[in-house]
Structure 1
Amino acid sequence: MCRSKRSTDVVSSNRRNSRSSRSSFKSKSSSVTVPSSGNLTSNDFFSKSSADSVASTSLTTLRESLVEKPHIYDFSEIRSATNNFLSDKFSSSSSSTSWRSSIRGKEVIIFQRKLRRVLELEQLCEKLSVICRSHHSSIIKLLGASVSGSYIYLVYEYVSGANLSDCLRNKKNPGFTVLSSWLLRMQVAADLAHGLDYIHHFSGLNSNVIHNHIKCSSIIVSEGDSDSGTLCAKFCHFGTAELCGEVMGKNDSKVRKIEGTRGYMSPEFQLSGVASQKSDVYAFGVVILELLSGDEALRFVVDEGSGVYRRISVIERAGEAAAAGGGGVRRWVDKRLRDSYPVEVAENMVLLGLQCVDEDPEKRPDMRHVTGLVSKLYLESKTWAESISLPTDFSVSIAPR
């Protein structure tokens, strides 16, 4: 996916002087259409007559159009930082590849992702500028981007830590978890609720902005500041859906299926391929249920009797536990917590998680409501911990063991 070394940029603009570029976004700009098929050629993006002018003007135009600088990286900087994409990959999947490197004196993670649809110059500039100005303690900051060929390269600040999936499920030592106390897990839940509420309602993009990449492996748990000595949870990939063209607008004539992660996709997302804020709420609910149980969103185990693979869903198991009443939830919650948690709070968290994953998107709560309830339950957990003399300001570490 990253073998192509073409440095021709896909975002083009009509020839204009730099003064008009800086003064207004209202002048017309050209766009690039990413074809639905997987066969991509240079002719899909440019006419021969305009290709030469695009490479020399588009990055300069983008950089000058943005409110804050620098947000646009020259593609040569991306190549240099990744050693022409030959550096060891930080991670790789079917939809993206990433490298940990350094750009302009900052340690960063560079994600390479495919562009999905038409991108207008003005739209890209506006969204990138707003996303890069967004600040929240539960969101890993986007520093900038570069475009080449049919790919966009998103540069995020590097945050030391481990993803939530590894924190909950240590493959080398299944009995160990960094999140060994109820209060730590409630802190993670509160961080994520506030972060997603910010994305949905306060990021400044628009009223329908979504994250679209919520899953345990895309959440980083890092050590907090030296004063608190606790852990904090942060969302990765904020802005990816907007900048890669994964979000479908009301006037889009074509609807294309976009990728999701099994176990985190809402029913309507699986049917239509169109994500929404309610899809984010569904994925958040799955993460909450994983946080409470320590189990995976979806896994398959071999039945010893029949030898057939059996599907185990964290949603189904949580529903069974809630329906059982009495000690159902207590039997389901992660055993590594050693029954040291307020049962009523745990039951309310399970019910909240199940509300978030309701099959009917209209019945799922808004993140404002979710955030308020999680904050309330977190404070109740702190009160419970103080009442039984548990430390509430302990220090933790996610260093390798």
Structure 2
Amino acid sequence: MCKTKMGVNASEPTRTRSRPSQSQGRHHRAPPTRSPSTSITGTTTTTTSNSNKTGVSSSTGASSSAASRTSLASLRESLPENPHIYDVAEIRAATNNFLAHRLSSSSSKASWRCNLRGREVVVFQRKFRRRIAKDELRDRLSDICRSHHGSIINLLGASVSGGGGGGGDHIYLVYEYVNGASLADCLRNPKNPNFTVLSNWTSRIQIATDLAHGLDYIHNKTGLKIENLVHNHIKSSAVIVTEPNFNAKICHFGTAQLCGETDETSPERDGSRSSRRSDSRALRFEGVRGYMSPEFQSSGIATQKSDVFAFGVMMLELLSGEEPLKYRYDKHTGDFERTSVIETAKASIDAEDSDVEGRLRRWMDRRLGDSFPVTVVEKLTRLALECVQDDPVNRPEMGRVAGKISQLYLESEKWSTNMKRPTDITVSYAPR
């Protein structure tokens, strides 16, 4: 996965680049295609057909349909999307009793890369934030493991210490291992700050497109029974970038629901600030400085609109290459000055003078070599600033955001095509 969360090197591609309109999610894997003469159970059947498609009795069709439904139902239950309920002893054995080398991480959560049931995985240890019934936990795990999208790292299963949720027990979430580096590491390498693998505009708009469609899938297209599904861990260190096409994958899908971090009894459809603060000290919310929306900081309740806020911050981070928050020591005052990427983005867009292009070029990541479509960058910056509005009601839905970024992706492709050097030019040194 990444140096910070789930892997070490960015190398093997996980999927080829496709246009945004084609990178849609899927809920279940389709069963393999079989020839018309063989049923799913392996029994050979005989079918007759002519140019008028007659000669098949209704009874035969009904029995075949019933048999197909039964076979498909049994096949669906045997698909690998079914969640694995691991025994804690398996987790201990795979992680050498939790003494194996941990993955380097920007968070305090323990994680290990290991081999489990013949598959390379990453195990995250997290603590329950509130008590969850065992049946409810199993149902949620089953739903989340059956959700798939090309921009989301799949959850394979889980194990619960102590046999259930709550009571200080831990849950071990097992995700597929993806070879790559985190977006935070790709943008900011402390050992070589002047270098980034994301040195061209095409790689960055590809990442923006993948992340927008991945979060839109989580919010609107999973088809799960969980109402108002949120991610609650959107940040650059929780995104894996793979080479060579620089596709992005979102980590930790389902963590908030399985660990009891969400308060589903609270009104969150409108995302308003009227959400009350939890009176229970046992329900401690987690957030990353710079990515937390104002209402999340005041209430601790994660909503889809707080996800949109974090996504907007990450887009500004992707454009500028800067951290969400920076602190610089002022020698004259002896204090630390706080700089927000939201504030610098607003200053480059909303100033009164007409030199928006010049300010935008100075604000953008200089490692792009000043080679990017300015109109596309301006549109994407304004869209990201819409996502980080203080009032959650004014923030757009992720479906609208994904649609707009898809349009910007297509505009970027046209720009890239026009920027290519002509290859049909011939040069002659002969005298005229």
Q: Which residue of 1 aligns with 2:310?
A: 283
What code does the residue aligned with 1:230 have?
Answer: N
Superposed displacement of residue 251, structure 1: 6.5
Q: 1:277 to 1:159 in 2, by over 3 A?
A: same
Q: Could you tell me how far apart the structure 2 residues matched to 1:154 and 1:237 are?
A: 9
Question: Does 1:170 find its partner at 2:197?
Answer: no
Superposed displacement of residue 204, structure 1: 2.5
Match of 1:305 among 322, 328, 332: 332
- Structure 2 unpaired stretches of 5+: 1-76, 163-168, 268-277, 423-432
Q: 1:200–1:207: 8 Å Cα contact kept in structure 2?
A: no
Q: SS at 2:404's partner residue?
A: helix
Q: Could you tell me how far apart the structure 1 residues matched to 2:139 and 2:80 are?
A: 9
Q: Could you tell me how far apart the structure 1 residues matched to 2:371 and 2:383 are?
A: 20
Question: Does 1:158 find its partner at 2:177?
Answer: yes
Q: CA RMSD in A?
A: 2.0
Match of 2:252 among 221, 229, 237: 237
Q: Could you tell me how far apart the structure 2 residues matched to 1:296 and 1:251 are?
A: 32
Q: 1:191–1:232: 8 Å Cα contact kept in structure 2?
A: yes
Q: Could you tell me how far apart the structure 2 residues matched to 1:210 and 1:299 are?
A: 27
Q: Which residue of 2 aligns with 1:82?
A: 95
Q: 1:257–1:272: 8 Å Cα contact kept in structure 2?
A: no
Q: Could you tell me how far apart the structure 1 residues matched to 2:205 and 2:193 are?
A: 21
Q: Which residue of 1 aligns with 2:396?
A: 365
Q: Which residue of 1 aligns with 2:342?
A: 315
What code does the residue aligned with 1:238 have?
Answer: F
Question: Does 1:211 find its partner at 2:238?
Answer: no
Q: 1:279 to 1:140 in 2, by over 3 A?
A: same
What code does the residue aligned with 1:313 have?
Answer: S
Q: Could you tell me how far apart the structure 2 residues matched to 1:336 and 1:220 are?
A: 20
Question: Does 1:348 find its partner at 2:368?
Answer: no
Q: TM-score, normalised by structure 2?
A: 0.72
Q: Which residue of 2 aligns with 1:377?
A: 408
Question: Does 1:197 find its partner at 2:206?
Answer: no
Q: 2:83–2:142: 8 Å Cα contact kept in structure 1?
A: no
Q: Which residue of 2 aligns with 1:247?
A: 262
Q: 1:162 to 1:92 in 2, by over 3 A?
A: closer
Taking the TM superposition and a 5 Å limit, the aligned residue runs for 1:2-401 are 69-92=82-105, 95-149=108-162, 150-205=169-224, 206-223=226-243, 229-250=244-265, 256-324=283-351, 325-326=354-355, 327-389=358-420
Q: Could you tell me how far apart the structure 1 residues matched to 2:293 and 2:421 are?
A: 38
Q: SS at 1:96's partner residue?
A: coil
Superposed displacement of residue 91, structure 1: 3.3
What code does the residue aligned with 2:302 have?
Answer: A
Q: Could you tell me how far apart the structure 2 residues matched to 1:99 and 1:377 are?
A: 38
Q: SS at 2:149's partner residue?
A: coil
Q: 1:201–1:207: 8 Å Cα contact kept in structure 2?
A: no
CA deviations 1:310-364 (Å, max 9, x no partner) are 1011001101111125222121111111111111111111101100000000000
Superposed displacement of residue 197, structure 1: 0.3
Q: Could you tell me how far apart the structure 2 residues matched to 1:251 and 1:349 are?
A: 32
Q: Which residue of 1 aligns with 2:21?
A: none
Superposed displacement of residue 307, structure 1: 3.0
Q: Could you tell me how far apart the structure 2 residues matched to 1:362 and 1:94 are?
A: 30
Q: TM-score, normalised by structure 1?
A: 0.77
| More off after superposition, 127-136 vs 280-289 | 127-136
- Structure 1 unpaired stretches of 5+: 1-63, 224-228, 392-401
Q: Could you tell me how far apart the structure 2 residues matched to 1:198 and 1:371 are?
A: 10
Q: Could you tell me how far apart the structure 1 residues matched to 2:153 and 2:83 are?
A: 18
